[in-house]
């Protein structure tokens, strides 16, 4: 945009310069021609006075002196047919001037001819002829045109500099708005545009963007507080569950139930803290998170006699997702396997490094996943349909994607969004 604005302003200035300099150049050429013709005509008229008043000898001396001092050859054609001065044959213009007794100029390809008729002589009218060559008509014109070209080029360069500065003044605030928008999309809700820069329209857009950013920040804070409050409400029934677990007669069952309640309590605490935290750009080691969650589910798999195959590339494998979000995605995928396949059905978990991130593949030996699954709230197995959506949103939050092929679910997790 900066280049286009600069080119547009420069083109407009170039047109103005052409419209100004071309007529000026033509005017300078016409002025040079008029100056040369006027000088030659004045000389011819002066000799015309000499023709009317001087004797032949004085006339000859005067004409010879004029031809010595001036670059324009002068010839005086007398009524008796003789000529004084430069040896030139009578031209049609000379004969016409003698017949009519008038003075005028005639343009020739190589210059300009000036004829002045002198009347009142005893033998008839005489004609003074002067000729201005083309080089004298153009004398000084080339230098004047060169000066005009230099001035025009200088003005054009100055116009380019001014146009570029004007374009920068317009484009810079727009680029700032784009940078602020990118920051907001990346999660930096404290970014604000400078509302005092640029044209009025850009300032209005900056002010509107700042108001929008503030509104988004307030709404997100309200949502976080609502999520934290909702999570906190679950603590009451969880306390009752803890009391029930403590009252179990079998100490082993009580210990197991209390361990599960403690894990649920830690999860709720993490949810509350995560909901109320202003997040920066998330990142975690996918290898460590997947290995930890796989170890957690391995105990249940052993109880259900499920063979578990795993192939995890050694870490660190950084991805642009927080550890709780990635753990929730892994739990959702493995939980689906345990919830929708029978006991003894095997599963495999593969995590490998790929260019730009990591790829997580969870596959089981069951009948496969309904192709309609994956959309939020859609399930083919009678569940809430949120598990696969959690995994999908985690992958997309990193800039990757989730794909389903039969009983295989693949998460593409990128390092940078």
CATH 3.30.565.10 fits 281-414, yes or no: yes
Q: Hey, what are 255's tokens?
A: 């210990």
- Residue 76, strand partner residues: 84, 128
- In the chain (417 residues long), the average pLDDT of successive 10-residue segments reads 71 81 85 84 80 77 74 80 82 84 85 85 82 83 86 83 77 81 77 76 82 83 71 71 79 82 76 60 86 90 89 89 88 88 90 92 83 48 63 89 90 85
Task: Please report, for the chain, the start and end positions of each structural domain, with discontinuous segments joined by +.
Answer: 2-139, 155-231, 281-414
Structure confidence at residue 309 (pLDDT): 92
**Roughly how many angstroms between the first and final C-alpha of the chain, as a whole number?**
27
Q: Which strand (E) or helix (H) includes residue 75?
A: strand 74-77
Q: Give the pairing of strands 83-85 and 74-77.
A: antiparallel
Name the phi and psi angles at 299, rounded to 5.
-65, -45
Structure confidence at residue 370 (pLDDT): 62
Structure confidence at residue 359 (pLDDT): 93
Structure confidence at residue 378 (pLDDT): 47
Short-list 83, 82, 136, 66, CA closest to 108: 136
How far apart, in whole angstroms, are the C-alpha atoms of residue 310 and residue 302?
Answer: 14
Q: Looking at the domain 2-139, which fold is it?
A: Beta-Lactamase (3.30.450)
Cis check: omega of the bond before 167, within 30 degrees of 0: no
Q: Hey, what are 201's tokens?
A: 């329209």
For residue 187, the 8-state DSSP code is T
If you average pLDDT over every residue of the chain, what do you get?
81
Structure confidence at residue 93 (pLDDT): 86
User: In the structure, how many helices (H) and strands (E) does the chain have?
Assistant: 11, 12
Q: What is the DSSP string of 130-148?
A: EEEEHHHHTTTHHHHHHHH
């Amino acid at each position: 945009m900066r280049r286009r604005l600069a080119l547009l302003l420069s083109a407009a200035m170039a047109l103005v310069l052409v419209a100004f300099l071309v007529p000026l150049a033509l005017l300078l050429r016409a002025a040079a021609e008029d100056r040369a013709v006027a000088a030659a005509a004045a000389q011819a008229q002066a000799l015309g006075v000499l023709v009317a008043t001087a004797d032949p000898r004085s006339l000859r001396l005067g004409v010879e002196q004029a031809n010595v001092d001036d670059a324009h050859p002068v010839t005086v054609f007398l009524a008796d047919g003789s000529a004084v001065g430069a040896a030139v044959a009578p031209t049609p213009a000379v004969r016409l001037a003698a017949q009519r007794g008038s003075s005028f100029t005639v343009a020739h390809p190589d210059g300009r001819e000036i004829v002045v008729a002198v009347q009142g002589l005893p033998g008839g009218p005489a004609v003074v002829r002067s000729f201005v060559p083309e080089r004298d008509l153009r004398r000084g014109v080339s230098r004047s045109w060169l000066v005009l070209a230099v001035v025009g080029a200088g003005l054009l360069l100055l116009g380019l500099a001014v146009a570029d500065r004007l374009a920068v003044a317009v484009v810079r605030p727009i680029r700032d708005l784009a940078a602020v928008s990118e920051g907001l999309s990346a999660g930096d809700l404290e970014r604000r545009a400078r509302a005092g820069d640029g044209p009025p329209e850009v300032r209005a857009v900056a002010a509107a963007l700042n108001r929008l950013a503030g509104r988004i920040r307030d709404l997100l804070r309200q949502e976080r507080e609502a999520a934290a409050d909702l999570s906190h409400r679950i603590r009451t029934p969880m306390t009752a569950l803890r009391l029930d677990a403590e009252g179990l007669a079998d100490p082993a069952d009580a210990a197991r139930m209390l361990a599960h309640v403690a894990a649920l309590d830690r999860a709720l605490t993490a949810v509350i803290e995560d909901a109320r935290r202003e997040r920066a750009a998330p990142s975690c080691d996918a290898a460590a998170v997947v290995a930890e969650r796989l170890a957690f589910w391995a105990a249940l798999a052993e109880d259900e006699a499920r063979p578990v195959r795993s192939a995890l590339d050694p870490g660190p494998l950084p991805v642009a997702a927080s550890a709780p979000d990635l753990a929730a995605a892994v739990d959702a995928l493995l939980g689906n396997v345990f919830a929708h396949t029978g006991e003894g059905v095997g599963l495999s978990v593969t995590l490998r490094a790929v260019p730009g991130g990591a790829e997580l593949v969870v596959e089981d030996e069951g009948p496969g996943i309904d192709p309609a699954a994956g959309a939020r709230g859609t399930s083919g197995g009678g569940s809430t349909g949120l598990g696969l959506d959690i995994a999908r949103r985690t992958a997309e939050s990193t800039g990757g994607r989730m794909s389903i092929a039969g009983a295989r679910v693949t998460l593409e997790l990128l390092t940078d969004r």
